[in-house]
Structure 1
């Protein structure tokens, strides 16, 4: 069904109306193989298409969707919430007051200081949102309003691939971090689980979301290693391995007390853990080990794994396969940490 562009009586309601429809559309097109609660998922979809919603109600629904496994929705939703806050300062009366120039102003002001990857995500969210509205709005005479947003002239990106190097730990810092994991005073209920999570991420380089979506059937032992069957972005499968001796104790002790129905790790209610929770654990352990980085979140562990992997083997294909990158150019950033290779430049004038 199509709707008039300014469907509601105020701009706030209209923007939230379109945002609710867009979120519903994205939830139905994202891979749903990681959905942990199909009934909750169905309820979220029904609520999104039924009645008007304000921005706070939408935040609650998106959080529920994220908690049942649809973490990718935040890539689209969060930039559009920021856009909503930005537009409110202008007090527009109609969606038609939004144009390319205004959106470039938004990107320039709200993405300053962010990485190129985050800036690209903001741009993609805007393009998807307004393209969706272009296709779904309809006037009484059957015509539709076209935003035709392209954002080709936005100069906010540093380059085609974005060359900002990610925060990572060197080998000495990784060793200190691993020692701190075992020495950190977790609660009795969370100690085995949290150590298991952090060790798997740092030793395999899988994404936090991939770790939190692992099911017990996805991990099994073969000789002296555990094999993990991971589902990455776009629901693409891959296999990673970790030496059994690294996680055996934490894994078996956690399995003996866990309350999860299907997930490998969960909270005390049996629900999926959040990425924010894991990042807080990482930051606390980094502080205890005296390690400070520009970014202390859990994703930094993945960058540390990839950096060390490339430095040791100088094999971009291996890095690409281990991290599950669709494009090898994404993996190429880790070549910038190859200090031995760069040392060759110091001999240029010898």
Structure 2
């Protein structure tokens, strides 16, 4: 493709970071996806983004599917293409969005892994034995208390938490959306303990390293994995598991899926509805264990 195609990509990624404020992880994935598609366009002798047609996108997606690429990955690649072409349309660089109505192969939905209430209580009832573990406990309490995404937790600033009201403000949610969330007493208490020994630096981030730098997403993932192994949790712990556990336990207790949708920051209720399957699994397990005529003879 011509050099103008590269320039359009650079402008798009500047737009993602400076205006839409997407997570670094999302931006990195989109760059990789669109660079790969650009190489495909070169093999098809397409000279500019305007030359790409619906058939071009479908051939690319079919090739990825035949290569055994996971359906979820293909869905993300299509999302990157749709977003890129919306930008090109908005900036008058193309006249159509060839990716708009192209569908990815259907994928079976896997239920998210969750910890049960007793497991969560056990992993959060540990007494920290260092400053780092005091910080880690505050992070994990907050994940479970408010159902934050990993990107939302690392972007949290001191001014985002209202301790007197028991709320926090998410300024950089998915798609740039903001929302307000309640914070439980256990999480607030753990954060206060952390702030009492947090390095006194110019950084506004709530969660920082001992050098005073805002924690990266990878650092949080590694610390949670370490916490789980140290405290005898068999499952591989990852931040989204705490978010899933938050949603599942709240639904089980309240049955209010609309409230959980708002708390999680889901734009579509269908995304939240996966937790109704988790809730049914719990009910089915209770039934199997308790009903006198549930078991086969």
TM normalised by structure 2 equals: 0.76
The CA deviation at 1:127 is 1.5
Matching residue of 2:98: 149
Matching residue of 1:121: 76
Matching residue of 2:133: 191
Matching residue of 1:21: 11
The CA deviation at 1:104 is 0.9
Q: How does 1:58-207 map onto structure 2 within 5 Å?
A: 70-72=21-23, 74-85=25-36, 88=39, 92=43, 94-96=46-48, 99-105=56-62, 107-108=64-65, 112-113=69-70, 115=72, 119-133=74-88, 148-150=97-99, 152-158=101-107, 163-179=109-125, 182=127, 188-207=130-149
Matching residue of 2:278: 337
CA distance change for structure 1 residues 260 and 182 in 2, over 3 Å: closer, same or farther? Answer: farther
1:218–1:229 Cα contact (<8 Å) kept? yes
Q: Deviations over 1:32-61 (max 9, x none)?
A: xxxxxxxxxxxxxxxxxxxxxxxxxxxxxx
The CA deviation at 1:319 is 1.6
Q: How does 1:246-265 map onto structure 2 within 5 Å?
A: 246-248=187-189, 251-258=192-199, 259-265=201-207
Q: Equivalent of 2:160, from 218, 221, 243?
A: 218
Q: Deviations over 1:126-181 (max 9, x none)?
A: 1222344466576xxxxx6x6742364534133xxx732112112232233224x5
2:138–2:190 Cα contact (<8 Å) kept? no
The CA deviation at 1:21 is 1.5
CA distance change for structure 1 residues 192 and 72 in 2, over 3 Å: closer, same or farther? Answer: same
Q: Equivalent of 2:170, from 207, 217, 230?
A: 230
Structure 1 spans left out of the alignment, 5+ residues: 1-5, 9-13, 31-69, 139-143
CA distance change for structure 1 residues 82 and 303 in 2, over 3 Å: closer, same or farther? Answer: same
Q: Equivalent of 1:328, from 269, 287, 297?
A: 269
Distance (whole Å) between structure 2 residues aligned to residue 326 and residue 137 of structure 1:
28
The CA deviation at 1:197 is 1.0
CA distance change for structure 1 residues 262 and 109 in 2, over 3 Å: closer, same or farther? Answer: farther
1:260–1:266 Cα contact (<8 Å) kept? no
Distance (whole Å) between structure 1 residues aligned to residue 100 and residue 64 of structure 2:
10
CA distance change for structure 1 residues 148 and 236 in 2, over 3 Å: closer, same or farther? Answer: closer
Distance (whole Å) between structure 1 residues aligned to residue 210 and residue 239 of structure 2:
21
1:23–1:77 Cα contact (<8 Å) kept? no
CA distance change for structure 1 residues 256 and 19 in 2, over 3 Å: closer, same or farther? Answer: same
Count of matched residue pairs: 282
Structure 2 spans left out of the alignment, 5+ residues: none
Distance (whole Å) between structure 2 residues aligned to residue 131 and residue 71 of structure 1:
16
The CA deviation at 1:268 is 3.9
